[in-house]
Amino acid sequence: MGKAKAINMISFFLLLVCLSLFLLVATSHESLLFLKKLLGFHPLNAVLVLSFLTILISLIGFTGAFTWKGKFRSLFSLMISLSLSIFVSVVL
């Protein structure tokens, strides 16, 4: 597996982590309170930081994507993480 493909896959898996954490925090008040107490800050801040990190890694992975699958995966990760970061920024 090439370096660009590995970076592209990392950005996709980070996107899945961001979405999972967002859905966990957004759907359960108990998990929100637990994570807020455990971390000491609002968990959506962690989602926001992870989504910004995903955007940066997606941009890096997009430059090395040569197949249509790689380009689609990178573009998908970029668009969804950008949408998530904008939404979380507005909510916070």
Residue 1, pLDDT score: 59
Output the pTM of the full model. 0.81
Burial of 4 (0-12, 13-18, 19+ CB in 10 A): middle
Indicate the domain borders of the chain: 3-91
Residue 32, pLDDT score: 78
| pLDDT tens sequence across 42-77 | 888 888 999 999 888 888 887 777 788 878 888 888
Backbone angles phi and psi of 65, in degrees to 5: -85, 125
